[in-house]
Structure 1
Amino acid sequence: MPETILQIPVAKIIPHTLEKHGHVRTDNYYWLNQRENPEVIDYLNRENDYYQQSTAHTKEFQKDLFEEMKARIKEDDESVPYFYNGYYYITRFEKGKDYPIHSRKKGSLEAKEEILFDCNEMAKGHTYFNLSGLSISEDNTMAAFGIDTVSRRQYTIQVKNLVSGEILAVKLENTTGGSTWASDNKTLFYSRKDEVTLRADKIYKHKIGTAADKDTLVYFEKDETFDVSVYKSKSKRYLIINSSSTLTTEYQTVLSATPDAKFKVFQKRTRGLEYSMSHFGDHFYIVTNKDKATNFKLMKTPEEATSKENWVDVIAHRDDVLLEDIDIFKDYLVVTERFNGLNHIRIMPWSGKGEYYLPFDSETYMAYTTTNLDFDTEILRYGYQSLATPASVIDFNMKTKEKNVLKEQEVLGGKFDKNNYKEERIWATAKDGTKVPISMVYRKENTKNGNNPLLLYAYGSYGVTMDCHFSSVRLSLLDRGFIYAIAHIRGGEDLGREWYENGKLLKKKNTFTDFIDCSQFVIDEKYTSTEHLYAEGGSAGGLLMGAIINMAPNLYKGVVAQVPFVDVVTTMLDETIPLTTGEYDEWGNPNVKKYYNYMLSYSPYDNVVAQAYPNLYISTGLHDSQVQYWEPAKWVAKLRILKTNNNQLYLDTNMDAGHGGASGRFEAIKEIAKEYSFLLDLEGIKK
């Protein structure tokens, strides 16, 4: 039999002219945005077939990797219970099952378990399933919850009577999934999305026992750059509506006991003023950037006088410390801060005496307060993990300073010992002289000889900080000789607010050049070489991947781009696409010529040229609401025509899922096994 020659998929060219500011672009693959067009589905299926056939020799290895990664995970696992309003709440998994079981126990962990939701049963018949926004009424008798079975993040909220076990007939459609109860236990507030843009733009009020079409519109957010949400203060005294855009926030409050009263604006929106607030006693505590507090400060104001002229400083602004968050307890204020790129948790008694920081001795860790719903307690619950240390949940007595490790993530299989790995933080110098930190982990026997395969990961947008988390799945790379590294590039908030400001809008290219400079640094320092360096990023991190392979393709052997945002200009000009208008403060508004020109200068799709590109594995989801599937599809189609070498180029489209990928806990690992087999195959590692 003659050998079958693989047919490389080629997308049809249908020129489409796009004009803005007198500048004309021709998009040959614009037609791929027709989700219902059979020719589009055919093209995606042909790309999937090509990927499957081209990687058929790795199928067994993928299965082995999947089983290896799965075997490290405790299948019959459960969360550390948290206590709220008389009940312990627990999320647990059973062996062989993909989805969580949500349950509770009244008063004591020895009490009988009451199963609230078995998502394994609820997921039957669905290729995708996600339950979100579980919200319990104050009298503990009702549970509101959101369900998404498409992966487009459009949730249907339903209500379960926890006394009778009955799920009420009413369905609240096209919501964010989140909701909050008023103190009367029968009024439920929730946010609804715009059908086209998927922007959360309306707050509704539902009364139990009435039809969904009788729900009252409480608030409509007219400004297309803002999203809205609704929640209850930890003190349970207030219901709060939050309107937020990239640079501006506004809150409205009403007493939870009077849900039919009118919401009152806390401090009206002022462009550039960001704030969040927590209620304690007869004051609100406000984390804000007021008075040019770039790194934020803490202020307070009386309950009855909430506008900004009444705010007074509690913790002043500091140039070198980012104030990230606060947790309020009856006797303590807990402040989460970041300096020199690292998390710090500060304990401040309200008495004003004896404040202190929790001690952490690593440079590649993350520490964070977790579920602290109980107000009248001395116990702070926080989490800790590092690149080589599994995640632990800790109860810390703020008075006695005693620490109780409630749970450390188990890594099964008997082979894992954190002492076999070395963690390091190094600093690369960017081309403008800025020092950029890189966190890394690898097996201790690795030597700096330039021959180690190294996977460099980054995100670098929206002020998202890339903290050093542990991953048992990642061990499958480390134990095969890989170094795993995170580049803490500008555009994130890793080194404070300015770090973010210097990687957005007209400074966005710093994000890309920082990553390239970090890549060059790990090569110069002999951690790896161009023959063994790999890069990975998803969503806005996928934009980063698209930019770096246009700018410095020769640095990388292979690149993994997950759900990549690569068609920046066209997307940002299309206001019907979900999330676009809310992004103007991040990327700029291309209806303004200077932003159009700048975006066009780095947009990955617009800057594909005839040159040699690294090996590429690109993934997307047909129902993705964050980054539409056609962005990576168009990008791959253009790369196929223009790239000048025979390196691998794969587009892998999940025809059932969206931005977050598959929903089951083990299905998600199968996707990682695909990525790892791609990298390991390029290294010639076959098992």
Structure 2
Amino acid sequence: MGKIKFSSLQAWLHKLGEEQSSDTCLYHEKDDTFSLDLQASKSKRFLFVASESKNTSFNFYLDVSKPEDGLQVLTPRVDGIDTSVSHRGNHFFIKRRTNEFFNSEVIACPLDNTSETTLLLPHRESVKIQDIQLFNDHIVVYEREKGLPKVTIYGLPDVEEPLKSLQGGHTVEFVDPTYSVEPSESQFTSSILRLDYSSMKTPHSVYDYDMKTGISVLKKIKTVLGGFDASNYVTERKWANAQDGTQIPISIVYHKDLVKLDGSDPLLLGGYGSYEICIDPCFNVSCLSLLDRGFVYAIAHIRGGGEMGRQWYENGKLFKKKNTLTDFIACAEYLTESKYSSKEKLCICGGSAGGLLIGAVLNMRPDLFKAAVAEVPFVDVLTTMLDPTIPLTTSEWEEWGDPRKEEFYFYIKSYSPVDNVKAQNYPNILVTAGLNDPRVMYSEPAKFVAKLRDLKTDDNLLLFKCEFGAGHDSKSGRFEKLQEESFKYVFIMKALNMIPDLGCGQK
């Protein structure tokens, strides 16, 4: 049986109504650290084909009115340069990241001369350009500044007029100190920008923002049952000092009438810190179950994620991966020192690469936590990265390093959770797995638990829950997902001795 890969390496052109045997291969990517992505331009005039790795991407375009011309190169393949493209009028618009311009810049080029570029928005060291969204008369720039998402809107000249540097943009205002905002489906010819917004106390909301007048209209807010009142909850943004002096942002939420903030409150701290993924503080209705029981909930926006810009990610990968781990520990220490909780009430959770985080900090500072939940955790990093036949391994070398090289082997081994379990006391631990998980095979968390059982010196709970009907993202179905979430919360409350007595000594 050949290797199973979860990346797309070929793009084919099929004409509806014709036999599949007449299809044309537009592009075949032969480097298995890359995968292909297809996207239609908002103008519906071009199809873009991107070949992407963790660190590099380049693009082709296909004029849908002339498919017989095949793909044309729009941005060339250059190691370390990442581009994403879109179209309006007589120009292609390109977001480009390089080693020098690590937070990206926005340029444009004419359709008939893609080598002639105009700088529209320059690189800025303190502001990361996350994405751009084109409209007939506007360009929306999704940015990150000081760890928070930002939406800035610029007017564009008529399509017949030349493009110049973007000036006079206005920013959409948001009221919460921490929040999440993402683009929703909008019409290319419209002046209305549709946004999905939420915060740790604001349910998911849909806003229509008029880019001409600056007026925002709430179109829909998700109903939360059970007498929910957002005014009962407080969200905060704090900063922890990492061991190298770096300031790490923390998002916090709690019920204002149910916490004392004197160190006696239970707290659940989550984190991820990999792949430049931003764990923005959005609304989680399940979390209300904890908040209404007097919990504080917090998210540590640690290095390895993308919250604070590209360098935030670069400083939490490869040979700097341990920053991710020590940042999380620093956040936990800050929360206890600031009386949000205590070591006897502090619980932690993370999944997948976030499960690696949980496993690693448990080995490093088991005394700091009362309970931990590692969901489908990537804990056997060394073994997985040594085997290129495992799905996704080759594409992950740019994130973790290739341990077939000696320097990466010993660095990964120094933090990989399975390889660092030792004879010491550990807190209460729940580890989950999915039997059909194609990303983190169930053998990884099983191996981690077996080693913990063999070496740990305490009598605290250690549970391994392997779901036979799940993959990487838990079981299918809304109620099944809620059951899994409730199992996690019950475990945490049991570890904190918060399960009520049901009578006859039963709990």
TM score, norm. by length of structure 2 = 0.94
Correspondent of 1:298 among 94, 100, 106:
106
Shift of 1:201: 1.4
Q: Given the alignment of the two structures, is residue 220 of structure 1 paired with residue 32 of structure 2, yes or no?
A: no
Q: Given the alignment of the two structures, is residue 424 of structure 1 paired with residue 232 of structure 2, yes or no?
A: no
Residues 213/564 of structure 1: CA separation in 2 closer, same or farther (3 Å cut): farther
- Report the equivalent of 2:436: 623
- Report the equivalent of 2:123: 317
- Report the equivalent of 2:250: 438
- Report the equivalent of 1:332: 138
User: Per-residue CA shift, 1:293-339, capped at 9, x if unaligned?
Assistant: 111111111112224xx322100111111111111111111111111
Q: Given the alignment of the two structures, is residue 640 of structure 1 paired with residue 446 of structure 2, yes or no?
A: no
Shift of 1:354: 5.0
Q: Given the alignment of the two structures, is residue 583 of structure 1 paired with residue 391 of structure 2, yes or no?
A: no
Structure-1 separation of matches of 2:320 and 2:466:
32
Residues 211/680 of structure 1: CA separation in 2 closer, same or farther (3 Å cut): farther
Structure-1 separation of matches of 2:295 and 2:208:
35
SS at match of 1:300: strand
Shift of 1:211: 5.3
* Contact map agreement 2:80 2:99 (CA 8 A) in 1: no
The correspondence of residues 606-617 of structure 1 with structure 2, limited to 5 A, is 606-617=419-430
Structure-1 separation of matches of 2:225 and 2:344:
33
The correspondence of residues 520-559 of structure 1 with structure 2, limited to 5 A, is 520-559=333-372
* Contact map agreement 1:342 1:363 (CA 8 A) in 2: no
Correspondent of 2:175 among 339, 350, 361:
361
Shift of 1:208: 3.2
The correspondence of residues 83-98 of structure 1 with structure 2, limited to 5 A, is none
- Report the equivalent of 2:96: 288
* Contact map agreement 2:370 2:496 (CA 8 A) in 1: no
SS at match of 1:537: strand
Correspondent of 2:478 among 665, 676, 679:
665
Q: Which amino acid aligns with 1:365?
A: Y
Structure-2 separation of matches of 1:353 and 1:648:
59
Q: Given the alignment of the two structures, is residue 238 of structure 1 paired with residue 43 of structure 2, yes or no?
A: no
User: Per-residue CA shift, 1:510-565, capped at 9, x if unaligned?
Assistant: 00000011111111111111110001000000000110001001111111111100
Shift of 1:214: 5.6
SS at match of 1:646: coil
Shift of 1:210: 4.8
SS at match of 1:585: helix
SS at match of 2:109: strand
- Report the equivalent of 2:155: 349
Q: Given the alignment of the two structures, is residue 479 of structure 1 paired with residue 292 of structure 2, yes or no?
A: yes
Q: Given the alignment of the two structures, is residue 252 of structure 1 paired with residue 64 of structure 2, yes or no?
A: no
SS at match of 1:257: coil
Shift of 1:258: 2.6
Q: Which amino acid aligns with 2:266?
A: P
Structure-2 separation of matches of 1:224 and 1:454:
42
TM score, norm. by length of structure 1 = 0.70
User: Per-residue CA shift, 1:599-630, capped at 9, x if unaligned?
Assistant: 01101011111111111111111111111111
Percent of counterpart pairs with the same letter?
Answer: 46
Any stretches of 5+ residues in structure 1 without a counterpart? 1-193
Structure-2 separation of matches of 1:562 and 1:232:
35
Structure-2 separation of matches of 1:354 and 1:574:
52
- Report the equivalent of 2:505: none
SS at match of 2:463: strand
User: Per-residue CA shift, 1:11-34, capped at 9, x if unaligned?
Assistant: xxxxxxxxxxxxxxxxxxxxxxxx
- Report the equivalent of 1:151: none
SS at match of 1:406: strand
Structure-1 separation of matches of 2:469 and 2:89:
49
Structure-1 separation of matches of 2:345 and 2:208:
42
- Report the equivalent of 2:185: 371
SS at match of 1:616: strand
Structure-2 separation of matches of 1:512 and 1:478:
26
Structure-1 separation of matches of 2:219 and 2:175:
20
User: Per-residue CA shift, 1:133-167, capped at 9, x if unaligned?
Assistant: xxxxxxxxxxxxxxxxxxxxxxxxxxxxxxxxxxx
Q: Given the alignment of the two structures, is residue 275 of structure 1 paired with residue 83 of structure 2, yes or no?
A: yes
User: Per-residue CA shift, 1:338-379, capped at 9, x if unaligned?
Assistant: 11111111111114675311112322111222112x111111
Structure-2 separation of matches of 1:238 and 1:369:
21
SS at match of 1:606: helix
Correspondent of 1:605 among 418, 421, 431:
418
Structure-2 separation of matches of 1:577 and 1:542:
19
* Contact map agreement 1:381 1:394 (CA 8 A) in 2: yes
CA-based RMSD: 1.5
